[in-house]
DNA sequence: CGCCTTTGACCAGCGC
DNA sequence: GCGCTGGTCAAAGGCG
């Protein structure tokens, strides 16, 4: 029972560590969209001052500061597109009500398979499990996962019209690495953390703009590649080794960019969902 | 008073 | 067909 299916979910998604360097030559809109972010420079998005549209925002003062590239921590992102994207679109159209209904239906009747929503996994080197991302999350479950001594926490966006879910777990390999997986898209622009203002409420996910940009470019890069990189074993514990394709110059470049980060977080890659 | 966290149980999917 | 793991729900308790 060590590694049976491990997690088809994690297997379906890829992860890549991001350099603190920003290229800005990728399409980040897709990533933001998935996060429900419409305006990257939105002041309320990451609790950042409205004066940081440029790729060099001031370091936050909150705990998530440790996520900043300035600190010894890196993050990775993975994304699942294909059917997931379609599912997301569908979910977006249907709305939460439909989703809820669907869930109930599924519960009562197990005939249909619930389409997966787009997922993005971030590997963040941080001491805190919950990082702020500007959204409010409510923890609805925690489960011990195989191959990892750390439990996985399940969060759901508290917004009534948003069914975005988030999983947070620590890497079994590197306890200092927090793996956050977003599922679905935020149907609301900017929740604005009113409660607690800085982490007092539910678990948030810190995603510094800088980091995001990095994520974006890598994600986009991954999307562009569309290569079935094997990162299924990203870490559920076994050996999250990266198999970056030698044919991908971009990948190589990315890896180069990783630099020290690579040492912090085992790189990963994205893998399209089958 | 309202919201969030915690914990246990249940259900569904998948692999063997 | 059985067993295992992941994911979600629901109830209770705690805190602001």
A155 touches strand C (CB under 7 A): no
Burial of residue A22, with CB atoms counted within 10 A of its CB: 0-12 exposed, 13-18 middle, 19 or more buried: buried
A7 touches strand C (CB under 7 A): yes
CA-to-CA separations, A51 to A29, A40, A41, A57, in angstroms, rounded: 20, 12, 8, 8
Q: Which window residues (171-210, chain A) lie with Cβ within 7 Å of strand B?
A: 195, 201-203
Q: Mind listing the pLDDT tens digit for each residue in A185-227?
A: 776 765 554 444 333 333 333 444 444 444 444 444 333 333 3
Kindly state the tokens that stand for A156: 């759901």
Q: Which window residues (134-153, chain A) lie with Cβ within 7 Å of strand C?
A: 140-141, 143-147, 152
- Considering just the CA atoms, what is the radius of gyration of chain A in Å? 17
pLDDT at A74 over 50: yes
Chain C nucleotides with an atom closer than 7 Å to a protein C-beta: 4-10, 16
Kindly state the tokens that stand for A203: 């678990």
d(CA A76, CA A20) in angstroms, rounded, equals 11
A99 touches strand C (CB under 7 A): no
Nucleotide nearest A196 (Cα, C1'): C16
Nucleotide nearest A156 (Cα, C1'): C8
Distance of CA A239 to the CA centre of its chain: 20
Kindly state the tokens that stand for A53: 């549209």
d(CA A221, CA A226) in angstroms, rounded, equals 8
Q: Mind listing the pLDDT tens digit for each residue in A217-248?
A: 444 433 333 333 333 333 333 333 333 333 33
d(CA A99, CA A118) in angstroms, rounded, equals 15
CA-to-CA separations, A1 to A4, A146, A232, in angstroms, rounded: 6, 9, 17
- The tokens 């989703």 sit on which residue? A99
Q: Would you say the C-alpha torsion A140, A142, A146, A150 has a positive or negative sign?
A: positive
d(CA A206, CA A217) in angstroms, rounded, equals 18
The residues that bridge with A182 in the sheet, in sequence order, are A120, A166
d(CA A119, CA A139) in angstroms, rounded, equals 18
Kindly state the tokens that stand for A33: 């969209």
Chain B nucleotides with an atom closer than 7 Å to a protein C-beta: 3-9, 11-16
d(CA A253, CA A169) in angstroms, rounded, equals 28
Residue whose Cα is closest to the C1' of B11? A107
pLDDT at A101 over 50: no
Question: pLDDT over 90 for what percent of chain A?
Answer: 3
A145 vs A47, residue with greater confidence: A145
Confidence of residue A158 (pLDDT cuts 50, 70, 90): confident
Angle (CA) A43-A47-A52 rounded to 5° is 45
pLDDT at A177 over 80: yes
């Amino acid at each position: 029972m060590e590694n049976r299916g491990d997690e088809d979910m994690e297997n379906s998604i890829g992860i890549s560590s991001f350099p603190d360097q920003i290229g800005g030559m990728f399409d980040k809109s897709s990533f933001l969209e998935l996060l429900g972010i419409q305006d990257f420079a939105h002041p309320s998005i990451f609790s950042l001052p409205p004066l940081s549209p440029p790729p060099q925002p001031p370091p936050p003062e909150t705990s998530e500061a440790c996520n900043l590239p300035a600190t010894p921590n890196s993050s990775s992102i993975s994304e699942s597109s294909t059917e997931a994207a379609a599912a997301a679109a569908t979910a977006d159209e249907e709305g939460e009500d439909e989703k809820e209904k669907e869930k109930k239906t599924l519960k009562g009747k197990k005939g249909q398979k619930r389409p997966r929503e787009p997922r993005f996994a971030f590997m963040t080197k941080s001491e805190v499990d919950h990082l702020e991302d500007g959204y409010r999350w409510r923890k609805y479950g925690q489960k011990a996962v195989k191959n990892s001594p750390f439990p996985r926490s399940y969060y759901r966006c508290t917004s009534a019209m948003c069914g975005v879910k988030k999983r947070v777990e620590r890497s079994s390999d590197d306890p200092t690495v927090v793996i956050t997986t977003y599922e679905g898209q935020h149907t609301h622009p900017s929740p604005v953390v009113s409660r607690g203002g800085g982490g007092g409420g539910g678990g948030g996910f810190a995603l510094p703009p800088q980091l995001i940009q990095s994520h974006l470019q890598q994600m986009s890069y991954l999307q562009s590649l569309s290569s079935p990189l094997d990162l299924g074993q990203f870490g559920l514990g076994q050996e999250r080794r990266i198999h970056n394709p030698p044919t991908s110059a971009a990948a190589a470049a990315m890896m180069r960019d990783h630099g020290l980060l690579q040492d912090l977080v085992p790189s990963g890659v994205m893998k399209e969902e089958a």
